[in-house]
Structure 1
C-alpha cells in the first residue's frame, strides 16, 4: 500500500506518555499511518533510531509501542552494522518510516555512509509515508537549526533536501530556536521555511506544505521568510487539531 503521492509528516511530536509503557504512539504518528491508506491488515512501520546511535532500549520501546498500537513493526539499525541485507528493499516494503530525534548531523553522516539517503528518496517517491520527530523532521528539509554540535545551536545546511524548505523544531520550548532560525533565514544561510511548536506536524504532499496539524491544544506552526529589508517575517499558520 502507498500514499497517492510523495508524503512527509515532519513533526515536533508524535509520541505521548503512557501509564504502562515508556511512551506510546501519539496522534501525529497515528495520522502518518492513516495517510498510508492501509486497511485490512496491520500497517508496516519501520523505526530508525540512528540519531540516538541505535540505542537498544529505544528500539525496545518502539516495539512495545508498536505492539500496543497494532503495527507490524520493524527497525533499521546501522550500529554496529546494518541489520538488513538490502536497505532500499526493506524501506520500500514499508507503509510508514518513522525517524526518531537526536543528532541530525550524526544521522546524516551515517545515512550517507550506508546509502540510506538514496533509499529514503526512493521510498518517498514510491509513496511510503515518511515521518519523524526533531532530527526526524529536520532531515527531510534543506536545513535548519541543531544542537548536534553542542548546547549552542548551529545551522545545518546539508540535510536530504527532499523538501526545498528549511525547518525549525521545538520552536516554543527551546529559547535559542526561534531567534536563530529567524536570523538564519534573514541572512540567507537558510531558505524560507516552516517551524513547529512541540506537538505540531507539517504535512507535505510532494514538496508543498498543505496542512499543519497539532496533537496538543494551542500549539502553533509558522512560515518564516526573508523580509524585504531587515528581519525575517514570521506568519502564524492555521493549525488543525487532531483528536
Structure 2
C-alpha cells in the first residue's frame, strides 16, 4: 500500500535501548511506518546498512527490533553482493525503506555503482516511504556536513537531491556541525539547510517540508538560510512531539 504522495522522513534518531533486546525502535521509526498507511498485515520495512558496511550483527539487532514491533524486516546488503537479481522488486515490494547512518560518501558511491539511486527514486515516486537516520537523512538532500572522510567535517554536495535543500544532522550533539552549516550557507556552498537535533526529524511530502517531528522532549529542528541583507539566519521550526 503506497503512501498518498512521495514521502521522506529524514531524521537524527529512531532507536533506543531495548528492555530485553539490544535496541528497540523509537517513535521516529514507528512514524515512518505509520506514514505508509499499512493495514491488515505486517508492514514491510527494508533496512539498508550500506553506510556501515552491511554489518550482519546490526542486521540481526534491527530484525529483532522489527519483530518486537510487529514489522517484517528485510535487509538490502550490497556486501559482498546484492541478495537478489531483482533489487528493484525487493525495494518496491516494501512499504518503508530505512537507511542506517554511517558514511554517506561511501553510501552514495556504492548506490550509484549498483544503480540503487534510480531504484530508490522510482520507489519514492511510487509511494514507498523513504526514511533514515544521519547518513540516511543526508542522502535524500543535496548534501551537507559529514565526517565520512575523517574527524574533521567536510561538506558534500553530491547527495541524491530528491529534496532540493541541504541538510544538517546531529545539530545539538556534535559541536562542529552548527558552525559548519552557518559557514557553508554564508559562503554559498550550502543553500537553504534544514537541520535536526538528535531525536528529531523532517517530514517532506513531494519536495515540500510539511512538518518537523521529535521523539524527545527537547529536540529541535531548524532552517538556516541567507536573510534579505545577506546575513545567515537560523530559525527554529515548529515541532510536533510524537
TM over 0.5: yes
Q: 2:6 matched to 1:24?
A: no
SS at match of 2:212: strand
Instruction: Give every structure 1 segment of 4 or more consecutive aligned residues whose post-TM-superposition deviation is greater than 6 Å.
Output: none
How far apart in 1 are the matches of 2:130 and 2:29?
10
Q: TM-score, with normalisation over the residues of structure 1?
A: 0.98
Show CA shifts across 1:23-69 (max 9, x none): 11110110110000000100000000000000110111111111111
The more displaced of 184-193 and 93-102 is: 184-193
Q: Which residue of 1 aligns with 2:50?
A: 50
Paired residue for 1:67?
A: 67
Q: Hey, what's the Cα distance between the residues in 2 that align with 1:141 and 1:38?
A: 26
Moved more, 230-239 or 42-51: 230-239
Counterparts of 1:74-113 in structure 2 under 5 Å? Answer: 74-113=74-113
Cα distance per residue 1:213-241 (max 9 Å; x no partner)? 00000110001102344541100011000
Aligned equivalent of 2:225: 225
Match of 1:154 in 2: 154
2:195–2:222 Cα contact (<8 Å) kept: yes
Paired residue secondary structure (1:66): helix
Q: Indicate the SS of the match to 1:162.
A: coil
CA distance in 1, matches of 2:164, 2:230: 23
Per-residue CA distance 1:83-126 (angstroms, 9 max, x = gap) = 11111111111100000000000000010000110000000000
> What is aligned with 1:240?
240
Structure 1 residues not aligned, in runs of 5+: none
Contact 2:47–2:76 under 8 Å retained in 1: yes
Equivalent position of 1:202 in the other structure = 202
In the alignment, what sits opposite 2:126?
126
What are the ranges of 5 or more consecutive residues in structure 2 without an aligned counterpart? none
**Alignment coverage as a number of residue pairs:** 242
Say whether the 8 Å CA contact 1:143–1:158 is kept in structure 2.
yes
For 2:90 and 2:190, how far apart are their aligned partners in 1?
A: 33
The 2-side partners of 1:231 and 1:93 are apart by: 46
C-alpha deviation, 1:16, in angstroms: 1.2
Name the structure 2 match of 1:170.
Answer: 170
Which stretch of structure 1 is more off in the superposition, 76-85 or 222-231?
222-231
Q: CA RMSD in A?
A: 0.8
Aligned partner of 1:39 in structure 2 is: 39
SS in 1 for 2:78: coil
